[in-house]
Amino acid sequence: MGIVQQRTIKNAIHCRGVGLHSGIKTSLTLRPAAPDTGIVFQRIDPAGGGALIAADWRNVVESSLCTTLGNGEGISVGTVEHLMAALAGAEIDNIVVEIDGPEIPIMDGSAAPFLFLIECAGLAEQDAARRAIKLLKPVTVGDGTRSAGLLPDHGFSMSFEIDFPSKAVSRQDISLALDSESFKAELARARTFGFLQDLDRMRAAGLARGGSLDNAVVISGDAILNEGGLRYADEFVRHKLLDALGDLYLAGCPIIGHFYGMRSGHSLNRKLLEALFADPTAWCFTTLMRGAAITEEAWREPVRVRA
């Protein structure tokens, strides 16, 4: 029993890699941050000018093939979703992410390398209570063929369904109760994926310039081109769930409820958070307690943004 404390990392830690869409090599450093800082990205390259960008759904400037955050003045950080998923899965509340370019490194296309960095840096509990957003009634968005929603629940769980014409993917669905252990075992290693026939079009549009068989599962017709095959039999739907987890963490704290997605993506995930916060009767803040039900509190202030 007792209040769950906020967490950061014990030590700074560094990695370097190529951006999936930009093809630009960047260096990333994770640094500990004080309680109630939240997750903040900082562009430390000359073009970024030291700009601070809070990991907040209101700062999303692009969310088609990836989630990009901006500061409203033309400075942005792209493809944040895999790192955000790792931070959510590791239950990290406060951290500063320094990046010397416009896009987070794609690493192997999953959240596992970022989770490894976090584990190597170590976890540190802080002298502040961890809070969450509790769903009080259903919130749904969609267009008839795609949908995403949040439902009241006692914990945090997720489900997802995809359906592609390729026999390599076909129809897949998954439902998981999420905590740090299940995230590491069931989601963290699921890689992003794409279709070979789309590559020329994407690169002509300035996308996927850093993509390769080293950082994505590539499908050609009904075949998977990666020599090692899949990490999970249903790796495709697991990765979609991983993306959604990263996008949902842009709410500013964990969510207590059930998320479901049906052929949804980054854009719809962002619209779901917008719809949630547009209805103050659909949610409330709660304080997380160890070994007990979550205690509800009637906090109605917006999630604080410190950058």
DSSP code at position 253: S
Q: How far apart are CA 34 and CA 228, in angstroms?
A: 42
204 Cβ neighbours under 8 A, 6+ residues apart = none
Question: 99: left (phi > 0), else alpha (psi -120 to 50), else beta?
Answer: beta
Task: Look up 21 and say whether it is catalytic.
Answer: no
> Considering Cα of 252, then 143, then 63, then 13, what sign does the dihedral take?
positive
Q: How far apart are the first and last CA of the chain?
A: 34
* Helix spans in 165-234 (H): 180-182, 199-204
Question: d(Cα 44, Cα 42) in Å, to the nearest integer?
Answer: 6
Nearest to 270 by CA among 19, 37, 56, 39: 56
Round to whole Å and give the CA distance between 208 and 23. Answer: 7
- Please tell me which residue in 21, 239, 258, 266 is annotated as part of the active site: 266
Would you name the residues annotated as active-site residues? 266
